[in-house]
A and B are shown apart, each in its own frame.
Chain A
Amino acid sequence: MNAVVTVARKEVRDALNSTWLLLYAVMFTALALGLSYLGERNLGSLGFENFSRTTASLLNLCLLLAPLVALALSSGAIAGERDRGTLTFLLAQPLERWELLLGKYAGLAASIGLATAAGFGVAGSLIALQSSAMDAGTYILFLGLVLALIVVMTGLGLVVSVVSESRVQALGMAMLIWFVAAFFFDLVLIGMVSTTSLGGGGLLLALLANPIEIVRVLAIIRLEPDLQILGPFGSYLMERVGTTGATVILSTALLAWIAVPVGIAAWLFEARED
């Protein structure tokens, strides 16, 4: 396990020195503050919005930006080493393949999570100073959900990184996954719901097949369980099993999305011969 910690520490150190992560943190903070400020202006009130409204505004931003950064950075974890010809050197050290993979996974997820939390923290503190109506608990819960989504996407990025022959190929595949999960998936499924008789089971499976959708529905359930906002998948779930049932099902699915990709990545990496 020492090797895992060593590799993870190195990943965090490299990430903290990386311009990409810094840019992400700055951009994230700026957008969070901007969204809140614009929301306030639209309502014609003074100061920033309260936490709940800001959190709702942040939802779409997070569901786009966090998976994008997690997939992009983690897709280079193994493929980048392979590209630079340094993978054999790392594997020549006394560590197992799974230890290298797990170390990179933990280090990357921690780095991206840290940058996101920093962005959230700065934005949250500024909003708290301006706002009278506080809902810090919801804000923190939402941050937890976004961090979980980052962990999921880091795992998916690792799978891509393990199977790709080059950094460019890995990045291409990662962007495809992001596009499908963030945009294409919703469009196609909404189309299917309206044109075919997708049953209840089908709706549930469709929801659970997309981690971004899981986090979106979970967040809305906790924020404001409005059937209009929840969409067809979330509405179906809420009607059938209620808030608690839906939370349990979606949280379990999210945990599975965390564990399964990294397990697959480790298995594939063991089988590879670099």
Chain B
Amino acid sequence: MNAMPDDKPRPMLRVQSLQRSYGKRVVLRDVTFDAAAGSVIALLGSNGAGKTTALKCILGVISFGGEIEVDGCSVKKDGKEARKRIGYVPQLPALAEGDTCQQALEFIADLKGAPRAGITPALELVNLAQERDARIGQLSGGMRQRLAVAAAVLGGPPVLLLDEPTASLDIDSKREFQQLILRLRDEGKTIILSTHFFEHLEELADRVLILHDGRVAFDGTTDDLAATSRSKRLVVNLNGHSPSETAAVLERAGIDRSRIQPVAMGWEDIVLATQQTEEDAQ
């Protein structure tokens, strides 16, 4: 990997002051982050937070303010070259249903200028070698998304952008896909994973980036994120006391009733709480 003069490794992906509007609606405001080689960043946020727009900017599919570099290549100056360094998996399967897996991957390999010899290892990586000659229309949703990953890794791009790849999958397929992400991370890919779903977040992601209202509301590890939330919340072991009595005591102490809720803390709650904190701060 190339190194900068101060010997710090150059990030595989660098996003600097990214801005983007649709008409008068500002979707991304001064978003800055970078991704080290071999790391997995979970890009979280509710619908309309700007996740997909950020990914489109990284791909150079839409114009943007600021600067984005992929493996040292400027997306603005040479989008095509930058895209050679990126594998993209969209939310919905995008490969032609009438094609066989082999035909679809040949098309993508040719577009990328990648050798077709890479198709077999890519199919093996996603456990679809047996389905090589099957029509894509006959595959399950999970298989199609895995095939999209096979297409993305053709040509060996160092960066993978996954745009809510498990959104339309059932639980089993989702879990299978998560295992695939771990395999790709082990192979040294830098992965940006945009998602709504937070199961196994700590297992999948080295870092979490929460977008809210077009800004970076949080950028850190899952431990940092959990710690941030813990400092704002108190989990009380009621130990036999009535929840309503405890709530009444807290209310008398000046805590608004709406802020006292029996909640099991999952990742989703933590992320939402962080967004709430960001809104409160504004």
Contacts and interface: CB of A to CB of B under 8 A. Distances in A.
Given A88-B61, A273-B62, A273-B63, A94 B81 contact: yes
Interface in A79-109: 84-86, 88-96
A84 B84 CA distance: 24
B96 to A, nearest CB: 7
A92 B83 contact: yes
A94 B112 contact: yes
Contacts of A84: 94
B235 interface: no
Nearest to B97: A84
Interface residues on A, range: 20 to 34
Interface residues of B, number: 25
Contacts of B86: 92
Contacts of B188: none
A78 to B, nearest CB: 14
Contacts of B185: none
Interface string A1-19: 0110011001001100100
Interface string B82-94: 0110101010101
Given A3-B111, A6-B110, A86-B94, A91 B84 contact: no
B94 to A, nearest CB: 4
Nearest to A273: B62
Interface string B139-180: 000000000000000000000010000000000000000000
A13 B102 CA distance: 14
Interface in A23-52: none
A14 B96 contact: yes
B113 A2 contact: yes
Nearest to B163: A88
A10 B107 contact: yes
25 contacts: A2-B113, A6-B110, A7-B111, A10-B107, A13-B103, A85-B90, A85-B92, A88-B61, A89-B90, A90-B94, A92-B61, A92-B83, A92-B88, A92-B90, A93-B88, A93-B111, A93-B112, A94-B80, A94-B83, A94-B84, A94-B113, A95-B80, A96-B79, A96-B80, A274-B62
Interface of A: 2-3, 6-7, 10, 13-14, 17, 84-86, 88-96, 273-274
